[in-house]
């Protein structure tokens, strides 16, 4: 039997080796400008304070206690012929609880990573709006100067000034949306980490979305998901539980016999959990077993066999859903890479066009409409590229989650912002 010593040791390491120094630094930062944390620091805090992990750990503790209580019944085996089977089932219950804890850890890692990247993305979009706003305001000042000069041959008119005013207002609204987006992502990140609503939180200065990664293998990712996901452990352990229940029902001639669910409910959690986005999400099927089986022994055995057949179907369904989930995450990554390849040079090219039109505008050779069109194109190109980088980052985080860490992406950002 494998107890949760590794899990407890891991969480103790987070507390003593990483979290305590981090909390001290965070408290110091909170007295000044607020806590600026790296992605890894946020993940570590989430693994320490997320209530979902506390709940999963409590379930594991309960499963261990249940097993130990059966071990302590030294003489009960003389009376209860099914006690050795119940002990085996309790051991499987520990495996299920450990698998659920592992699953909760990867869900927490994903939630923290996703919302951390969401903060960076909103900040990037705010920076794009700021950059274009500065340029448009400068262009507006130049337009006013040109109009006030009263040159009748100039293509720049008061209408161009008004058009620039309208475009500036549009961008100010965009900037406000990005500002709200930062705060919304910050709130979601706090929840994912399990920290207080007033916890001061911001990405480390210069934090960027990861560079595009290439060369991922779909079949390898699916194999990793099926091998490592806690849901597969839960499903296979539940099948063994129900198989043992058939043997347990054979040991008694009573009309009413308790099953393994009377001491605990290993199928309270959906396996696997739903996909964490808006994609197609077929419903999972879960284990089914009543706390008592009633009837003559052959009838009870037959019912137990039927529930065991259902548990076998749960394994197949879980395999199918995990395969679908990994494939969906892979397709998201592939789509993001294709978009990034298409948009890679658009930002630089659109900036060159906008700078060229601006020079012509200042030389009274281009209209305000041409200038606005060029600046809008520059804004859109950078925004589209940022969106593609964001989708790529979320896809990498999803692939890490759906493979339960079998694929550990590099979140490095070495390119120039």
pLDDT digits (tens, 9 = 90+) for 161-182: 998 899 899 989 989 999 999 9
Q: What is the C-alpha separation between 298 and 390, in angstroms, rounded?
A: 59
User: Nearest-CA neighbor of 390 among 110, 121, 185?
Assistant: 121
Rounded distance, CA 390 to CA 384, Å? Answer: 10
Q: Checking DSSP bridges between strand 202-203 and strand 256-258, what pairing results, if any?
A: unpaired
What's the burial of 78, exposed, middle or buried (CB within 10 Å: 0-12/13-18/19+)?
A: exposed
Instruction: Write down the domain spans for the chain.
Output: 7-204+215-250+293-402
Q: Which helix (DSSP H) or strand (DSSP E) does residue 36 occupy? A: strand 36-37
Q: Per-residue DSSP letters for 132-159?
A: HHHHHHHHHHHHHHHHHHT-TT-S--HH
**Closest among 271, 304, 302 to 290, alpha carbons compared:** 304
- The whole-angstrom separation of Cα 384 and Cα 333 is 16
For the domain bounded by 7-204+215-250+293-402, which CATH number is listed? Answer: 1.20.1600.10
Asked whether the beta carbons of 69 and 83 are under 8 A apart, the reply is: no
**CA–CA gap between residue 262 and residue 86 (Å, rounded):** 11
pLDDT digit string (tens) for 333-383? 999 999 998 888 888 899 899 899 989 988 888 888 888 888 889 888 989
Respond yes or no on whether the N-terminal peptide bond of residue 272 is cis (omega within 30° of 0).
Answer: yes
First and final C-alpha spacing in the chain: 51
Q: CA separation (Å) from 228 to 105, 272, 400, 404?
A: 13, 13, 11, 6
pLDDT in single tens digits along all 417 residues of the chain:
344 444 555 455 444 444 554 554 444 444 434 568 999 999 999 999 999 999 999 999 999 998 898 888 876 655 578 888 988 999 999 999 999 999 999 999 999 999 999 999 999 999 989 988 998 899 899 889 889 988 888 888 899 899 889 989 998 998 999 999 999 999 999 999 999 988 888 888 888 999 999 999 999 999 999 999 999 999 999 999 999 999 999 998 899 988 888 666 555 455 555 555 555 667 667 778 888 899 999 999 999 999 999 999 999 999 999 999 999 999 999 999 999 988 888 888 998 998 999 899 888 888 888 888 888 898 889 899 999 999 999 999 999 999 999 999 988 877 655
**The residue count for the chain:** 417
Residue labelled with tokens 């012929």: 81
């Amino acid at each position: 039997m494998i107890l949760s010593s590794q899990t407890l040791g891991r969480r103790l390491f987070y507390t003593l080796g990483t979290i305590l120094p981090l909390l001290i630094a965070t408290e110091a930062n909170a007295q000044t400008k607020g806590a600026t944390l790296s992605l890894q620091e946020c993940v570590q805090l989430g693994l320490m304070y997320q209530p979902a992990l506390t709940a999963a750990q409590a379930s594991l503790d309960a499963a261990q206690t249940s097993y130990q209580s059966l071990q302590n019944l030294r003489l009960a085996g003389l009376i209860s012929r099914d006690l050795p089977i119940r002990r085996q089932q309790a051991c499987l219950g520990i495996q299920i609880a450990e698998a659920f804890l592992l699953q909760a850890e990867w869900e927490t890692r994903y939630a923290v990573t996703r919302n951390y990247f969401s903060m960076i993305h909103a900040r990037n979009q705010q920076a794009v709006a700021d950059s274009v706003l500065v340029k448009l305001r400068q262009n507006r000042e130049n337009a006013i100067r040109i109009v006030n000069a009263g040159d009748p041959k100039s293509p720049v008119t008061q209408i161009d000034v008004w058009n620039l005013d309208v475009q500036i207002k549009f961008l100010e609204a965009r900037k406000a949306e990005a500002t709200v987006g930062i705060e919304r992502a910050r709130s979601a990140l706090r929840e994912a980490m399990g920290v207080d609503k007033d916890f001061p939180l911001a990405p480390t200065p210069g934090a960027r979305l990861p560079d595009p990664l290439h060369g991922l293998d779909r079949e390898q990712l699916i194999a990793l998901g099926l091998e490592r996901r806690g849901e597969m452990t839960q499903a296979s352990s539940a099948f063994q539980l129900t198989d043992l229940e058939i043997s347990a029902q054979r040991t008694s001639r009573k009309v009413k016999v308790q099953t393994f669910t009377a001491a605990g409910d290993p199928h309270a959690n959906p396996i696997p959990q739903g996909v964490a986005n808006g994609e197609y999400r077929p419903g999972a099927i879960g284990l089914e077993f009543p706390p008592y089986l009633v009837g003559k022994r052959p009838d009870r055995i037959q019912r137990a066999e039927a529930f065991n057949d259902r548990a076998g179907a749960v394994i197949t369904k879980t395999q199918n859903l995990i395969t679908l989930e990994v494939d969906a995450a892979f397709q998201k990554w592939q789509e993001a890479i294709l978009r990034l390849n298409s948009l890679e040079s658009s930002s630089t090219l659109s900036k060159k066009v906008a700078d060229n039109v601006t020079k012509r505008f200042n030389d009274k050779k281009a209209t305000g409409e041409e200038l606005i069109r060029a600046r809008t194109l520059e804004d859109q190109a950078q925004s589209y590229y940022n969106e593609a980088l964001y989708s790529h980052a979320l896809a990498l985080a999803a692939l890490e989650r759906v493979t339960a860490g079998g694929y550990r992406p590099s979140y490095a950002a070495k390119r120039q912002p």
